[in-house]
Amino acid sequence: MVSVLFEPTCIKGIELKNRFVRSATAEGLATFDGCPTQELKEVYCRLAEGEVGFIITSGALIEAWKQYPKALGLLSPFAIYDDRYIEAWKEIISAVHERGTKIAMQIGHLGRQDIAELRGSAPIAPSAVPINTGGVVPQEMTLQDITDIVEKFAQACRRVKEAGFDAVQFHGAHGNLITNFMSPFTNLRTDDYGGSTENRARFLVEIISRARELVRPDFPLMIKLSFSDFVDGGFDADEAIRVSKIIARAGIDCIEVSGGTLSETKEHIAVKGIRSEDQESYFRAYAETLKKHVSIPVILVGGHRTPAVMAEIVEDSGADFISLSRPLIREPELIKRWKNGDLKKAQCISCNQCFENWVFRPLRCYVEEPLENT
């Protein structure tokens, strides 16, 4: 049964050795100015040697801040807003490829969740909807702002391709800028970028269209998409399906299903305390519904621990790929363990200490007990 997880398959011509994806995970292993480090190369090589079929980097910024995060005692994310970052990635990408694994870069903009002290100004968003927990009121984007950010996303895609990545993934989840435009909770505009589902998806469609002009037709454009904000009056599953159909027609080649926002509903992004199989794969219903409406590949993230559960999802056409984050922090060689016949569930206990410390400390598992199966 679990053999289905190890079948070679592809995303828009990119051949993958199995159906396992390392979902974008904040590694905290960038230099102060957003370049990858030798430590990051070691993390990715270990994942590739551990038989992960496809690695997606943590989100890279498409726009520069006025200050580096170290000024606030924070770790720097990756950056891809300048051509100087292209060369910085080539050695790492080559090392991953040498180990038989493909790699994509996730790119994004924090939108209303951005850090004013680093931007040097208020965060930007489609509408001035404040974040209640911090009292920050974002600045409503002008039409010129929208045009400028669309171009920055597209140029970032060009750089991702030129660096040698196999694909690019837009971060359209967890309350970032693309999500802000799609959600009626954060988009109150009355112009062509607000109101109807089609209008709120327009920003993303324009990004896809412009990006496609700059990269070859067969270069995969992917997205991580929230299927619910989990807030009253927010983005929900029905609307996510409508948006998915729109962006599939526009040229998106693969959708990774996720949910929640960092600002309002963080607890839904990475659910704590997963103990039983019925708690696993908590976005499964969204992916199963999506598969009925689009013909492009679907990746499912969220609480995967047991191989048999994942295999059932794929066999029942609930998703094409299984994406993991926290389990691979605990066990970088997890997929290899399963491939070699040890099918005990992942040893991640979903304590979320990795998730709660990601802006302050480099990637690590905080559970000190030794692993049983390695």
Q: Which value, to the nearest 10 degrees, does the dihedral of the CA atoms of residues 120, 105, 37, 333 take?
A: 130
pLDDT per residue as tens, the chain (374 positions): 899 999 999 999 999 999 999 999 999 999 999 999 999 999 999 999 999 999 999 999 999 999 999 999 999 999 999 999 999 999 999 999 999 999 999 999 999 999 999 999 999 999 999 987 767 899 999 999 999 999 999 999 999 999 999 999 999 999 999 999 999 999 999 999 999 999 999 999 999 999 999 998 999 999 999 999 999 999 999 999 999 999 999 999 999 999 999 888 888 889 999 999 999 999 999 999 999 999 999 999 999 999 999 999 999 999 999 999 999 999 999 999 999 999 999 999 999 999 999 889 999 999 976 555 44
195 sits in the region (left: phi over 0; alpha: psi -120 to 50; else beta) called left
Please tell me the total number of residues recorded for the chain in this structure.
374
C-alpha angle 251-257-262 in degrees, rounded to nearest 5: 110
- Given the candidates 3.20.20.70, 3.40.718.10, 3.40.50.10860, 3.40.190.10, the CATH classification of the domain at 2-356 is 3.20.20.70
Q: Phi and psi for 281 in degrees, rounded to 5?
A: 50, 55
Beta strands in 118-217 (DSSP E): 124-125, 139-140, 167-172
* Side-chain-side CA neighbours of residue 19 (13 Å): 25
Radius of gyration for the chain, computed over Cα atoms and rounded to the nearest angstrom: 19
DSSP track, 243-269: HHHHHHHHT--EEEEE--BTTT-GGGT
- Among 300, 280, 340, which Cα is nearest to 51's? 340
Q: Which residues contact 340 (CB under 8 A, 6 or more apart)?
A: none
- Among 117, 183, 177, which Cα is nearest to 153's? 177
Q: What is the number of other CB atoms lying within 10 angstroms of the CB of residue 216?
A: 7
Q: What is the number of other CB atoms lying within 10 angstroms of the CB of residue 3?
A: 8
Residues 52 and 20: beta-carbon distance below 8 Å: yes
Q: Which residues contact 52 (CB under 8 A, 6 or more apart)?
A: 20, 21, 22, 101, 328, 335
Q: What is the number of other CB atoms lying within 10 angstroms of the CB of residue 72?
A: 11
Here the tokens at position 53 are 């079929």
What was the pLDDT predicted at 374?
40
Here the tokens at position 254 are 């693969």
Q: What kind and span of H or E run contains 182?
A: helix 177-182
Give CA–CA dist 110/202, Å, rounded: 18
- Among 236, 228, 233, 255, which Cα is nearest to 244's? 255
What was the pLDDT predicted at 370?
58
Here the tokens at position 15 are 């051949």
Identify the sign of the CA torsion 257, 259, 261, 262.
Answer: negative
Here the tokens at position 240 are 């996510």
Q: Which value, to the nearest 10 degrees, does the dihedral of the CA atoms of residues 104, 108, 114, 117 take?
A: 70
Give CA–CA dist 33/11, Å, rounded: 32
Give CA–CA dist 300/77, Å, rounded: 24
Question: Which amino acid is residue 210, in one-letter code?
Answer: R
Residues 206 and 139: beta-carbon distance below 8 Å: no
Q: What is the number of other CB atoms lying within 10 angstroms of the CB of residue 35?
A: 16
- Residue spans of the domains in the chain: they are 2-356
pTM: 0.96
Give CA–CA dist 216/66, Å, rounded: 32
What was the pLDDT predicted at 263?
86
What is the β-pairing status of strands 14-16 and 9-11? antiparallel
Work out the angle between the directed axes of helices 237-250 and 197-214 (0-180°, nearest 10). 30
Can you name the residues that pair with 55 across neighbouring β-strands?
A: 22, 103
